[in-house]
Structure 1
Amino acid sequence: MTAQHPTSAGTVTIGVLTFRRPHDLAAVLPMLVRQAADVRELGYAVEVLVVDNDADASARDVVRPWASETVRCVVEPTPGIAAARNRAIAEAHGSDLLVFIDDDERPHDRWLEHLLATRRRTGAHAVAGAVVSDLPGELDAWVAAGDFFRRRRLPTGTPIDVAATNNLLLDLSFVRSRELRFDERFGLSGGSDTLFTRRLVAEGGLLVWCDEAVVTDQVPAERLTRQWVLRRAFRSGNSSSRVDIVLAPGAAGRTAARTRAGVRGSLRLAGGAARWALGVLTRADSHAARGLRTAARGSGMLAAVGGMVYREYRRDVRPRRVHAA
């Protein structure tokens, strides 16, 4: 079942992906139902689609009290966020637009309305919204010095060439016409959204920013550490270089992409190490922290050149029988 009773304004699927986060899902689901109701008053037909990436269907009980013609849950047993994103696209076959949000995010007032308005005003094929971080406690002093949880903000309507799917509207007619899908080779490593949006732009799609469409990311305490920041930087460098290599045309293009990634990774590693050393010598904590993160990103880039895939989202979960959602 997809969004019901199409209207002149169009049909929208809000896709929230989840994996064993029942408390987060229970918190965000009523918010999405309210957002959907608000834009229905503007003439849109809207459904809320939960894609449960747990083969044991652990989200089923959370969704059941909300289940209706416009709120539903499906199970995608293939591990990895890329498979779950592709399932959302497939399930939204009767909708004009698909809006992604993460289960650990909380949309601000009029979030969906702002995304839709920016899409109407700009004619964009994709609209990315802003994400702000809600930190559960005091940061490690090193992490605070680096200011690592500050996200980018841009004027609404600014064209961009890459975006994450944690707050993203997609024009499904464009996605279908270009046969765009999330690459499942990146499902457990991260980076499939980077590859997808870069391909969208390369295919002639317009991707713009909407600064009023804000969601708050509920950052878990275990991410407020130096170790997590450095692991994320390594993964980010690793996946970004892999994306560059995948996008390169032909064997010669891939070789050139690996060479560029090797040069850039080496420069980041050396430059980051130098900045870290300067920060240590001058007791400038921000330089030390940012330099070390830059070096970690460079190391990840070099690892990608050597063929390493860092699977940040790997699971120690054995496959289990799929239950009907």
Structure 2
Amino acid sequence: MKIAVGIATIGRRDLLSQTLARIALQTRMPDSVIICHVKEGDVDLGVLDDLPFETLILRSSPGLTAQRNRILNELKKCDAVVFFDDDFFPASDYLKQVDELLLQNDSAVILTGRVLADGAKGAGILPEMADKILSASDREHPRRGAPRNIFSAYGCNMAIRLAPVFKNGLKFDEYLPLYGWLEDMAFTRQIVRYGEALWVPQLRGVHLAIKAARTSGLSFGYAQIANPVHLWRGGLIPWRVVLSHAGKNFVSNALRLFGSDANVDRKGRLVGNLIAMRDLFLGQLDPNRILNLKR
């Protein structure tokens, strides 16, 4: 099976370089790594010379979904793509496990792994700590659990079988701009029409999610309401999922408004939530509104 790794980078050169170094430790090398960036200088080209696999550098318009679609356009000769965030450190057998599972399970069309630690839930995880977490996990020889069906893959690490993608013209939703909140759910709900979405415990890694170069609190707060509503309008998710996502985010932002988490702009997110709710009530809700919000 021919497997490519796709990385849509947002300009964190040092983290991208370390992620590439982690991919170079894989026991099953990718057939190629495709990196899509937005601005000149986002990629340290000097790092690429020492990598043991073929690399391709692309450029696209801003936005995670646009970058991922640009990568998809280059994969016609591949059987699968593994999308990693530029700050996701995979375990050394990640690609080997993807290869084996996709060969053994014809019904699997999208896979996501066990995130050993996720910096998105806090201040972020430093690379040194991520290495320690992965090393500890390797020593523990984690039990081989059975894959289970999931509603959505997690965009920081997801493997996609490409045959149904090209046969059915599937794309990431570019109407979800910038960081593309819930783009992974939108894509998963499209591709599960043709097979299974699975969480696979053998696929392991650490998501650093260091708070840099991310969408502003105001814009992100708007997207927390607007994006799930957009998915519902497209027939991809039921209304209860919209309420679950939007409701939990709104309550979390309100309750933690005066908390001590300096790494999250709770006030900006809450204001963004309220603007989106007003727009929903007025019939003006639009994910692209975040492009014009003051950030």
Q: Same fold (TM over 0.5)?
A: yes
Q: 1:309 matched to which residue of 2?
A: 287
Using a 3 Å threshold, how does the CA distance of structure 1 residues 135 and 166 change in structure 2: closer, same or farther? closer
Q: 1:81 matched to which residue of 2?
A: 64
Deviates more, 1:95-104 or 1:122-131: 122-131
1:51 to 20, 36, 61: 36
Q: 1:187 matched to which residue of 2?
A: 177
- TM superposition shift of 1:297: 9.6
3-state SS of paired residue (1:31):
helix
Using a 3 Å threshold, how does the CA distance of structure 1 residues 276 and 220 change in structure 2: closer, same or farther? closer
Whether the aligned pair in 2 keeps the contact of 1:119 and 1:126 (CA below 8 Å) is no
Q: 1:236 matched to which residue of 2?
A: 224
Q: Distance in 1 between matches of 2:64 and 2:293?
A: 12
1:25 to 16, 35, 55: 16
Per-residue deviation, residues 76-130 of structure 1 (Å, max 9, x unmatched): 2311111110111111111111110011111123122222333333320111112
> Aligned ranges for residues 146-157 of structure 1 at < 5 Å?
156-157=146-147
Whether the aligned pair in 2 keeps the contact of 1:129 and 1:209 (CA below 8 Å) is yes
Q: Distance in 2 between matches of 1:33 and 1:220?
A: 22
3-state SS of paired residue (2:148):
coil
3-state SS of paired residue (1:302):
helix
Structure 1 residue 98 corresponds to structure 2 residue 73:
no
2:99 to 116, 120, 132: 116
> Aligned ranges for residues 64-75 of structure 1 at < 5 Å?
64-66=48-50, 70-75=53-58
Q: Distance in 2 between matches of 1:137 and 1:307?
A: 29
Mark the structure with the bigger radius of gyration. Answer: 1
TM-score (norm 2): 0.70
RMSD: 4.3
- TM superposition shift of 1:164: 2.8
2:195 to 171, 189, 205: 205
Q: Distance in 1 between matches of 2:11 and 2:20?
A: 14
Unpaired runs of 5+ in structure 2? 125-144, 261-266
Partner amino acid, structure 1, of 2:77: G
Structure 1 residue 130 corresponds to structure 2 residue 114:
yes
> Aligned ranges for residues 252-291 of structure 1 at < 5 Å?
260=239, 264=243, 268=247, 272=251, 276=255
Unpaired runs of 5+ in structure 1? 1-9, 140-154, 250-256, 286-291, 317-325
Q: Distance in 2 between matches of 1:31 and 1:11?
A: 19
Whether the aligned pair in 2 keeps the contact of 1:268 and 1:298 (CA below 8 Å) is no
3-state SS of paired residue (2:158):
strand
Q: Distance in 1 between matches of 2:275 and 2:154?
A: 19
Using a 3 Å threshold, how does the CA distance of structure 1 residues 240 and 156 change in structure 2: closer, same or farther? farther
Q: Distance in 2 between matches of 1:304 and 1:134?
A: 31
Q: Distance in 1 between matches of 2:170 and 2:212?
A: 34
Per-residue deviation, residues 29-88 of structure 1 (Å, max 9, x unmatched): 1211221xx225xxxx6212222232x2531524442367x3213222311111110111
Q: Distance in 2 between matches of 1:238 and 1:134?
A: 24
Whether the aligned pair in 2 keeps the contact of 1:130 and 1:167 (CA below 8 Å) is no
Percent of residue pairs identical: 19
Using a 3 Å threshold, how does the CA distance of structure 1 residues 57 and 138 change in structure 2: closer, same or farther? closer
- TM superposition shift of 1:216: 0.8
Q: Distance in 1 between matches of 2:112 and 2:123?
A: 29
Using a 3 Å threshold, how does the CA distance of structure 1 residues 205 and 236 change in structure 2: closer, same or farther? farther
> Number of paired residues?
258
3-state SS of paired residue (1:183):
coil
- TM superposition shift of 1:27: 0.6
Q: 1:217 matched to which residue of 2?
A: 207
TM-score (norm 1): 0.64
- TM superposition shift of 1:134: 4.6
3-state SS of paired residue (2:73):
helix
Q: 2:3 matched to which residue of 1?
A: 12
Say which structure is richer in helix.
1
Using a 3 Å threshold, how does the CA distance of structure 1 residues 185 and 238 change in structure 2: closer, same or farther? same
Which contiguous aligned blocks of 4+ residues in structure 1 show a shift greater than 6 angstroms? 135-139, 228-231, 294-298, 310-316
- TM superposition shift of 1:233: 5.8
Q: 2:233 matched to which residue of 1?
A: 245
Using a 3 Å threshold, how does the CA distance of structure 1 residues 299 and 115 change in structure 2: closer, same or farther? farther
Using a 3 Å threshold, how does the CA distance of structure 1 residues 309 and 134 change in structure 2: closer, same or farther? closer
Per-residue deviation, residues 211-236 of structure 1 (Å, max 9, x unmatched): 2212211132569xxxx889756533
